[in-house]
Structure 1
Amino acid sequence: MNILQINSSARSTGSESTRLADEIVARVAAGTAANVVRRDLAAEPHPVLDEAALQALFTPADQRTPAQAARVALDDALIAQVQAADVIVIGAPMYNFGITVQLKSWFDAIARAGVTFRYTASGPEGLLKGKKVYVAVTRGGLHKGGPTDVQLPHLRTFLSFVGLDDVQFVFSEGHGMGPDAVARARAEAQQQIAALV
């Protein structure tokens, strides 16, 4: 079994979403000969999708400059990791009601027409099928199920768009609301993980 862990916090240390992702990976891998690949998007930030990247992606492979080929190769490496994974675990903190710029850059890198999704007569079809996904969602406030939870629809929509439909979410909220709220959030997250994995 190949497990891909994506840590998308802006912090490489002390991140609650990474801590939860680590716990999920440990449970999934327990008792197996799992191969775990971890990508820390804070320690290894992926370049944002800018004009130069778009030009590289839309230039035929045999016509790319060395710089364009190198830029596309960065995205190719992330796509290959996802394609090779049986299980994907994503640490996804909420920043200002959305996903982090680190996670958005990863999403932009792995969304490739004809590779991870394709357009058909009946609409887009995701091509990253048959994978299990766990998303550890952490927030400073309480947003789940409320009007301020615009992060969850984004996550669901993007993952489904590329074919990742078997997704389980683990929530840990209230981390900006004092020690008691943090302890409660961690205990509830533990119960969710135990029930899902």
Structure 2
Amino acid sequence: MDLQHIVKKYGNHTIFSFEKWSLDQGIYWVKGGNGTGKTTLFKVISGQTPFEGTLSLNEISIKTAPVAYRAMISYAEAEPQYPSFITGNELLNYHISVRKADPLMVKDVTEQFGMTPFMDNKIGSYSSGMLKKLSLICAFTGDIQLYILDEPLITIDTHSAEVLYGLIRKYHEQGSSFLLSSHQELEPGQLTLKGVFQIKDQQIAAC
């Protein structure tokens, strides 16, 4: 992934402005408290918000080939919001269809998170923890090059955290990369991080 001459503003307020940030294949952690710009950075990289500059993954530019670029990215929000009147399966089947994913692999991930008994229920009946697990299941649907997981550990139980760490390790071994954010420390020994960064004074700096 390669970002150059990146500027992101909301009105007259500059969130970040930096010359270059390049990442090879690996697992990366962007740390820092709320309001530092982590979510905005992730929304830029995932194609959710406009920005100034150039951004490419595997030499495919988001600005010249946006569809091809977004097909390589999976983004799970910190606080996911979905239509309350659809079921978990309806949302998941949409992701399976769009990403041409293997239903059996998706079924396995759903079972690992313990969500199988609830997938035919309306999303409006889900707790915050169930919503988070549903968003992670959707994130791990399809053949993805870069997973962007914003605060993936909040609201999930210890077992689900173990499942998440296992999935990250598995997909990383298969060649995928990960961008994680967390204001809390990651559990020691679970992941081999290639880099740790923070946004400070509008710049991205290695920790």
The bucket for the TM-score relative to the shorter chain is 0.3 to 0.5
Structure with the bigger percentage of strand: 2
Structure with the bigger percentage of helix: 1
Normalising by structure 1, we get a TM-score of 0.38
Larger RCO, structures 1/2 (Cα 8 Å, 6+ apart) = 2
